[in-house]
């Protein structure tokens, strides 16, 4: 086993130009158990963090949920007793496309997962479960057992096409106490019967983007689209919109709220197979025409399965993404002061050996925290950096060794008590485990 894994890489590397206080690590227990994987984190309007994860029991996948309330002393609160939202042996669960949960006013608000379409291996529907206040209450069982939630309203499908195609890569954001918004990749226009096997896509180092090495996709007239819907907590679909009519087949989407509506980012797909990161803004019920965050010019004839992240804080928008343009793997970061109309010249965060899999948060107006996975020989490392708007690395952490393969998924990061809560999947010799760290 690699030496990094044996000792656990906990070294904090601070750049000589650092002008902020050194970040500290705090112990973080979490309520997940062995055979758990693919956590999602969401910080709501009260500062509470809602974490979901998959717990595998033989062929059955269980979606579990726990909430971490904010603590007045700035330390860690206590996780609520985990609850099982749903379970099935017919879910589509993947290292890049896995369930999520959002919350509001300290309570969970909605969750999602993917149901396979019978008879179609790689066709599946999004299912969303909305929470009513009567569905959920804080529970702290002394024996740590998992409780089930009995929902007042059943789960539902937010897309109305009814086609046996792919629907996934969901991002959701709370709007108010009774409404939330969801976006997803939608395959209603893809060719009938052409199941798309995401497992065949290479999520590794894309310094080589030779189209001959990758499976070609369908023509653009049968391309994947990205769509969105406004939904209330009674499970009613209030409106549905097409955001872009040709996007990359299986890259993560990202959605954030602003004081002027919503901002989404995703990997676009041009008729020349240019797959750069695009942005669209939802204001007054209308999505703006998508446009490039930056014209990297990455031409690739298949989906790299490596999507962007967007965050907004106090008038500043930041987007982080992976690109393989110019035959080199890079992670980039760009800022905007006009709600994504224009962006600064991108800052190159990492290049050469990076695997991408980015996440992003802002705790200040003039800097952002970005996480990414970096290949190191036969393993990889989970990096977290604080970057100011001039591109200066304020702090640089190698948080832990991480499996370089697909099964380690996408590490997650969110704001908590003016610090960072990080979660990822750790694979031992026999089972997977969800790891969490609190940094402040």
pLDDT of residue 135: 59
Q: What is the mean pLDDT of residues 211-228?
A: 64
pLDDT of residue 4: 39
Q: What is the mean pLDDT of residues 49-74?
A: 93
Residue 155 sits in a domain of what CATH number? Answer: 2.120.10
For residue 366, pLDDT beyond 90:
no
Average pLDDT of the chain to the nearest whole number:
86
CA 171 – CA 253 distance, rounded (Å): 6
pLDDT of residue 105: 95
pLDDT of residue 21: 63
pLDDT of residue 33: 94
CA 95 – CA 409 distance, rounded (Å): 5
Q: What sign has the CA pseudo-torsion 161, 165, 171, 172?
A: positive
CA 68 – CA 62 distance, rounded (Å): 20
pLDDT of residue 59: 93
For residue 95, pLDDT beyond 80:
yes
pLDDT of residue 122: 81
Note the pLDDT tens digit of each residue in 224-261.
999 999 999 999 999 999 999 999 999 999 999 999 99
Q: Contact 397/371 with Cβ under 8 angstroms?
A: no
Task: Name the residue range of residue 327's domain.
Answer: 3-439
Q: pLDDT tier at 73 (50, 70, 90 boundaries)?
A: confident
Note the pLDDT tens digit of each residue in 3-32.
333 333 333 333 333 344 678 887 788 999
pLDDT of residue 16: 34
Higher-confidence position of 143 and 107: 107
Closest C-alpha to 128, from 18, 25, 237: 237
Q: What is the mean pLDDT of residues 371-386?
A: 94
pLDDT of residue 211: 32
Closest C-alpha to 300, from 205, 208, 368: 208
Q: Is the whole model's pTM more than 0.85, yes or no?
A: yes
Look-up of token digits 């370089």: 404
Q: What is the mean pLDDT of residues 116-143?
A: 75
**pLDDT exceeding 90 applies to what percent of the chain?**
73
151-165, 283-297, 331-345: which range is least confident on average? 151-165
pLDDT of residue 6: 34
Higher-confidence position of 30 and 1: 30
Q: What is the mean pLDDT of residues 105-118?
A: 95
- Neighbouring C-beta atoms of residue 399, cutoff 10 Å: 24
What is the total count of domains within the chain?
Answer: 1
For residue 214, pLDDT beyond 90:
no
For residue 215, pLDDT beyond 60:
no
Note the pLDDT tens digit of each residue in 154-173.
999 999 999 999 999 999 99
Nearest 5°: the CA angle 418, 169, 287 is 80
């Amino acid at each position: 086993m690699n030496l990094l894994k044996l000792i656990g890489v906990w070294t904090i590397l601070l750049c000589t130009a650092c002008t902020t206080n050194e970040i500290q690590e705090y112990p973080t227990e979490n309520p997940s158990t062995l055979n758990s994987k693919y956590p999602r984190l969401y910080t709501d309007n009260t500062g509470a963090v809602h974490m979901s994860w998959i717990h595998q029991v033989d062929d059955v996948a269980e979606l579990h949920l726990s909430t971490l309330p904010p603590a007045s002393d700035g330390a860690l609160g206590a996780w609520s007793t985990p609850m099982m939202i749903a379970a099935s042996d017919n879910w589509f669960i993947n290292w890049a496309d896995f369930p999520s949960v959002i919350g509001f006013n300290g309570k969970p608000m909605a969750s999602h997962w993917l149901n396979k379409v019978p008879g179609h291996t790689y066709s599946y529907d999004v299912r969303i479960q909305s929470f009513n206040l009567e569905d959920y209450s804080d529970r702290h069982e002394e024996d740590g057992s998992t409780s089930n939630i009995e929902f007042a309203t059943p789960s539902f499908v937010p897309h109305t096409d009814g086609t046996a195609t792919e629907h996934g890569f969901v991002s959701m954001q709370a709007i108010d106490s009774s409404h939330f918004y969801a976006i997803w990749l939608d395959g209603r226009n893809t060719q009938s019967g052409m199941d798309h096997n995401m497992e065949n896509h290479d999520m590794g180092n894309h310094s080589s983007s030779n189209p001959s090495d990758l499976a070609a996709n369908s023509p653009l007239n049968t391309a994947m689209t990205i769509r969105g819907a406004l939904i209330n907590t009674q499970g009613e679909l209030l409106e549905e919109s097409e955001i872009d009519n040709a996007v990359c087949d299986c890259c993560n989407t990202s959605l954030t709220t602003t004081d002027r509506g919503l901002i989404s980012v995703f990997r676009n797909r041009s008729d020349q197979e240019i797959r750069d990161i695009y942005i669209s803004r939802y204001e007054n019920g209308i999505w703006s025409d998508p446009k490039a965050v930056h014209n990297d010019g990455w031409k690739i004839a298949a989906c790299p399965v490596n999507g962007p992240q967007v965050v907004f804080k106090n008038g500043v928008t930041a987007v982080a993404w992976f690109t393989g343009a110019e035959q080199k793997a890079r992670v980039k970061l760009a800022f905007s002061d006009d709600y994504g109309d224009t962006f600064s010249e991108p800052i190159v965060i990492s290049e050469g050996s990076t695997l991408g899999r980015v996440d992003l948060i802002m705790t200040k107006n003039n800097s952002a925290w970005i996480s990414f996975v970096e290949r190191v020989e036969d393993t990889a490392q989970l990096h977290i950096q604080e970057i100011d708007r001039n591109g200066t690395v304020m702090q640089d952490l190698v948080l832990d060794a991480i499996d370089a393969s697909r099964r380690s998924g996408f590490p997650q990061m969110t704001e908590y008590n003016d610090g960072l809560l990080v979660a990822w999947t750790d694979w031992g010799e026999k089972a997977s485990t969800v790891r969490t760290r609190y940094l402040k």
